[in-house]
Amino acid sequence: MIMNMSLPQKIIVLCIVVLLPSHSVMAGSFSDILRVMGISVAPSGVRGTATILQGNLWLSKIDGTGAYRPKPITRDGTYHSPLWIPGSSQILAIKGNKLVQLDTEGNEEKVLYPLAGSITLHGFDKRDAKSVLILQNSVPAVLSLANGKTTFLPYDKENEEDRTAAARLSRDFRSYGHVKVFVESQPMFDALDNEEGNNKIHIIGEQIPETVIPCPEYCIQPALSENGRQLVFVGP
């Protein structure tokens, strides 16, 4: 059929083939898209209560018997929304108003793109390791690591299912198939009845022992590595 086309017609067909994406993130409702992307939302009963939005990145290594004491890997306190980049030991995070990539020692930090507005990172598309689910000014979208462009997702704020899915994109809960990671917050009081933080990160799964990681003052936005051996989170 193409052989019988004129040259302009062939050019048009080739352009359509090149521009047509291998999959579309725009089909279906927002809650349907989350399921297709493989991004789980937190049951409301285990969402965190932290109000601190940024800090330093902390790392804890995990073995078969438990977790090592977490250590900070950054120092200037302007990081949030850490995620592990699929297929690597690199961390993706937001630093101030920039999207950055860094290693588990906090070294070799690379600025990927400047960001505009209030943005939080929530997970990679399981079909495309270059696509990240974000909330931009509370509106769900996909950020491409290939070109830094943002594609807003169909989201109906009048639809109860969509509203629930967006509300449950908690920064303090992550689901990795059969493994769940969440922050437990239990306030403590000193001798003068001043409230002190007593947060802990729990890692639970069907075939692994529960791991509890004590937090330094506070901890939010935990993210577990693909092999389950390292946990990054935001702390003081």
Q: For 208-229, what is each residue's pLDDT tens digit?
A: 788 999 998 889 999 999 988 9
Asked if the model's pLDDT at residue 92 lies above 50, the reply is yes
Q: How confident is the model at residue 81 (pLDDT cuts 50, 70, 90)?
A: very high
Q: Look at residue 141 and tell me if it is in a domain.
A: yes
Q: Look at residue 118 and tell me if it is in a domain.
A: yes
Structural domains in the chain (count): 1
Q: What is the average pLDDT across 86-103?
A: 95
Q: What is the average pLDDT across 82-98?
A: 95
Q: Look at residue 8 and tell me if it is in a domain.
A: no
Average pLDDT along the chain: 78
Query: What is the model's pTM?
Result: 0.78
Q: Look at residue 122 and tell me if it is in a domain.
A: yes
Element (H, E) at 179: strand 179-184
Q: Look at residue 202 and tell me if it is in a domain.
A: yes
Q: What is the average pLDDT across 37-56?
A: 56
Q: Look at residue 13 and tell me if it is in a domain.
A: no
Q: Which domain holds residue 169?
A: 25-235
Q: How confident is the model at residue 16 (pLDDT cuts 50, 70, 90)?
A: very low
Q: Look at residue 231 and tell me if it is in a domain.
A: yes
Q: How confident is the model at residue 132 (pLDDT cuts 50, 70, 90)?
A: very high
| Cα distance between residue 147 and residue 224, in whole Å | 26
Q: Look at residue 208 and tell me if it is in a domain.
A: yes
